[in-house]
Chains A and B, each alone.
Chain A
């Protein structure tokens, strides 16, 4: 029953992306192009990044956090520089975030899933990986939302600007935080995934609040 297990883990990992696309008004506005472009930009930034190592080394981690900001730069590029069809701010960040998260899942999780989940040996790893992909989707969309707030919206309430930048900083450094937890503190995979899910939901909530707060003056 190993192809079965592979199928289960695949729908857990990639299903939410498809569901998000079809459930929200994104599908009505045909924003697939935007998502695909965002996915390609992600692949580009992934090539720029250095490969990971096993131990936790503060200097290395700092370097990786700096490199992690290339993520943010890539997202900035996707949001601002690419020519999008005339779609509203609301939908642009969602499409970009969706494309970004989908590319991340495919790049990091498809190959291990294909090779590992089809084998006879059963582990919980692939289900946890799928949950991680879900958390990652939420995080990418919140990061894209905050990014669009930072760079695309010109008139923002003054008080909210530092909060926006702080939240964006936290979300951008999430990969470093999780790798520190896994290697520096030695947390097991289920614990790390639980932490990711919790933080992604809370960050999504915060960025939703910020987004609606910024939207009120203009509407």
Chain B
């Protein structure tokens, strides 16, 4: 009885100890520690539907083993993620994999540093062009394919380079990573991508009024300068579009600044209104521009003399193109072209005229001026691109980074447009008058261009992921408000042809894992160690007989009772 009382006391103490241990377990389970070998930022391939067809990468969650390009032929990659650095990319290999719909766990592309904003430098100039073209080709392949596994982009850094070297070594000895052989595991814990509900496009317009002479009741003529500011690329979180169309936006802001200086003084205010338009929805057949024009008053639309659209003027050497849809023999077109050519000659720039007829029944809109032409407004697009781009091509993708844009090209472009406009406004056509001469108070400001270009090169601007009150859109509005009399914002919903899905960036965790066989082996070793320890202790403290008797206890008990 004494025994039972004491054992009861012991049980009580045991219970309290267990409860303390349980409390510790609960507290500790709430703490999440990051124990990965490496954790890097990754950016997902865009996922979108166009006219009901699915494109891009359809999945976001990743939890597979890593493999490199040196995998043994015939290996099963359906549960492996291929890590491909851009320098080692073989585009035919990727094209084959995607077109033949071979099963794959995932793709991770590693981009060299030059494509990121922070680490741009003038290293390896000749390789830059090759990599740029390769990346452009890869992008076009990926955005027009339907890929049933996650595809991510990341920038190369030391951590992932060492991991990749290790993976290549393992693959070379013919031991790709699976659950039983250990290796590296890539985990991206992100929720399933959801549709972006009613993506908005925001058009910003600035109005600079011309000089109205007393007694003149007619509406002053208007000149419009337009640039689209949004982008579309393979990785929406990286689509900064420095050239397409960051250069156009920067040029527009600088022209607005120069003319606001001229128009601030009534003595130098021209007899033309100036309308500056920053439109969105550019990659989607200039949808935003169309909606913006449709919102115009009939009188305003008729008062527009002509519109100049700026598209990619950041990386040209000596030649620019003016694209029109009205035939070159048209009087207005001739006038515009001559005005530009005269100024271009003085600036040692070659300007060519390209004519492309518009087909109203075809929804495809290649250049922004075509939206004006469809509403019978004279317009032209100034661009360094000579051939018309395809849908979703040249809209500011991964390869379009700050590295490849030249501020002097933009500066010269601004000078060309501003001088041509000024000569038309103030009636100095054909005369050799330099209004925006270098070194004067109206000189083009390269520092302004550079700072805005840097900002644009750090801001991804894919329209569905820009909310109505996005700080960047607000910044553009404020800047335009500084240079114009009146600013308006127009919010529209992107039309139903395109549907976008979110989850554009995530954090990748790379774990070094041990295989199942290792764990089993360890269990075996520990089990034998504990058995040996047990036997050793029994033998040394109680004697060998006791150890043997442990195995013979049941029979002996039977003998006793019997």
Contacts of A4 in B (CB 8 A): 516, 519, 523
Partner of B513, one of A15, A110, A121: A121
- Are B514 and A1 in contact (CB-based, < 8 A)? yes
Interface string of A5-49 (1 = CB under 8 A from B): 101100110011001101111000010110010000000000000
CA distance A25 to B541 in the complex (A): 7
Q: Counting CB contacts under 8 A, is B36 at the interface?
A: yes
A148-184 contacts to B (CB < 8 Å): none
* Contact of A190 with B by CB under 8 A: no
Query: Residue B422 at the A interface, CB < 8 A?
Result: no
The answer to whether B511 touches A121, judged by C-beta atoms less than 8 angstroms apart, is yes
B-side interface mostly: helix
Q: B512 contacts A122, CB within 8 Å?
A: yes
Cα A36 to Cα B16 with chains together (Å): 11
A122, B513: Cβ atoms closer than 8 Å: yes
Chain B residue with Cβ nearest A94: B541
A111 at interface, CB cutoff 8 A: yes
- B374 within 8 Å of A (CB atoms): no
Residue A120 is within 8 A (CB to CB) of chain B in the complex: yes
| Cβ contact of B514, chosen from A5, A7, A32, cutoff 8 A | A5
Q: Are B28 and A111 in contact (CB under 8 A)?
A: yes
Q: Which residue in chain A gives the minimum CB-CB distance to B539?
A: A23
A55 within 8 A of B: no
Query: Once the chains bind, are A23 and B541 in contact (CB under 8 Å)?
Result: yes
A27 CB, min distance to chain B CBs, angstroms:
11
Cβ-closest chain B residue relative to A23: B537
Contact A8 B514 (CB under 8 A): no
Chain B residues contacting A69 (CB-CB under 8 Å) are: none
What's the least CB distance linking A104 to chain B, in Å? 15
Cβ-defined contact, A36 with B522, below 8 A: no
CA distance A122 to B182 in the complex (A): 10
Report which of A12, A22, A121 forms a contact with B37, defined as CB distance below 8 A. A121
The reply to whether the CB of B534 lies closer than 8 angstroms to some CB of chain A is: yes
Interface 1/0s, chain B 507-523, versus A by CB < 8 A?
A: 00101111110010011
CB A28 to nearest CB in B, in angstroms, measures 9
List chain A residues, Cβ under 8 A from B537: 19-20, 23-24
Question: Across the two chains, which residue of chain B brings its CB closest to A117?
Answer: B35
Instruction: Confirm or deny: A205 has a beta carbon within 8 angstroms of a beta carbon on chain B.
Output: no
Known: A24-B541, A121-B37. A127 touches B534 (CB 8 A): no
- Choose, from B17-25, B217-225, B333-341, B376-384, the stretch at the interface: B17-25
Chain B: residues with Cβ within 8 Å of the partner, total of 40
Cβ–Cβ < 8 Å partners of A11 in chain B: 526, 530
Q: A119–B511 Cα gap in the complex (Å)?
A: 9
**Residues of chain A with a CB closer than 8 A to B31's CB:** 115
B104 to chain A, nearest CB (A): 22
- Separation in Å of the A197 CB from the closest CB of chain B? 13
Q: Indicate if the CB atoms of A8 and B533 lie closer than 8 Å.
A: no
**Cβ–Cβ < 8 Å partners of B21 in chain A:** 106, 110
Task: Please name the residue on chain B nearest to A127 by beta carbon.
Answer: B522
Q: Which of A5, A20, A119 is B35 in contact with, Cβ under 8 Å?
A: A119
Contact A19–B541 (Cβ < 8 Å): no
A114 CB-CB contact with B under 8 Å: yes
Judge whether A114 and B25 touch: CB under 8 Å. Answer: yes
**A188 CB to nearest chain B CB (Å):** 18
Query: Considering the chains assembled together, what is the distance between the CA atoms of A12 and B515 in angstroms?
Result: 19
Which residue of chain A has its CB nearest to the CB of B535?
A23
- The answer to whether the Cβ of B326 comes within 8 Å of any Cβ in the partner chain is no
Q: What residues of chain A lie closer than 8 Å to B185, measured between beta carbons?
A: 120
- Beta-carbon nearest neighbor of B6 in chain A: A33
Interface readout for B16-58 with A: 1 if CB under 8 Å, 0 if not? 0100010011001101010111000000000000000000000
Instruction: Report the bound CA distance from A116 to B36 in whole Å.
Output: 11
- B28:A114 contact, CB within 8 angstroms: yes
Question: Is there contact, CB below 8 Å, between A16 and B522?
Answer: no
Task: Assess A120 versus B513: contact at CB under 8 Å? Given A110-B24, A115-B28.
Answer: yes
B130 CB within 8 Å of chain A: no
Taking A19-B530, A20-B537, A114-B29 as contacts, is the C-beta distance between A8 and B522 under 8 angstroms?
A: yes
> How far, in Å, is B123 (CB) from chain A's closest CB?
34
Q: Does B10 contact A (CB under 8 A)?
A: yes
Q: Are B530 and A16 in contact (CB under 8 A)?
A: yes
Q: Does B538 contact A (CB under 8 A)?
A: yes
Asked if A24 and B542 make an inter-chain contact with CB atoms under 8 angstroms apart, the answer reads yes
Q: Which residues of A lie under 8 Å from residue B541 when comparing CB positions? A: 23-25
Chain A's nearest CB lies how many Å from the CB of B319? Answer: 56
Cβ B526 vs Cβ A15 within 8 A: yes
A36 to B35 alpha-carbon distance, docked (Å): 34
A8–B526 contact, CB under 8 A? Answer: yes
Q: Please report the C-alpha to C-alpha distance between residue A70 and residue B17 in the assembled complex, in whole angstroms.
A: 24
Name the B residues within 8 Å of A120 (CB-CB): 35-36, 185, 187, 509, 511, 513
Q: Write out the residue numbers on chain A whose beta carbons fall within 8 Å of the beta carbon of B13.
A: 33, 36
Check if A119 sits within 8 Å of B522, measured CB to CB.
Answer: no
Query: Closest A-chain residue to B509, C-beta based?
Result: A120
- Contact assessment for B10 and A32 in the assembled complex, using a CB-CB cutoff below 8 Å: yes
The distance in angstroms between the C-alpha atoms of A83 and B36, with both chains bound, is 49
Q: A1-B514, A4-B519, A23-B538 are in contact. Are A12 and B33 (CB under 8 A)?
A: no
Q: Could you jot down 6 A-B contacts, CB within 8 Å?
A: A1-B515, A19-B530, A32-B10, A36-B14, A120-B36, A121-B512
Q: Which residues of B does A touch, CB under 8 Å?
A: 6-7, 9-10, 13-14, 17, 21, 24-25, 28-29, 31, 33, 35-37, 179, 182, 185, 187, 509, 511-516, 519, 522-523, 526, 529-530, 533-534, 537-538, 541-542
- Assuming A4-B523, A24-B542, A36-B17, what are 4 further A-B pairs, CB within 8 angstroms? A4-B519, A33-B10, A116-B35, A121-B513
The 9 closest A-B pairs by CB, nearest first: A23-B537, A120-B511, A122-B514, A119-B35, A121-B35, A24-B541, A4-B519, A121-B511, A23-B538
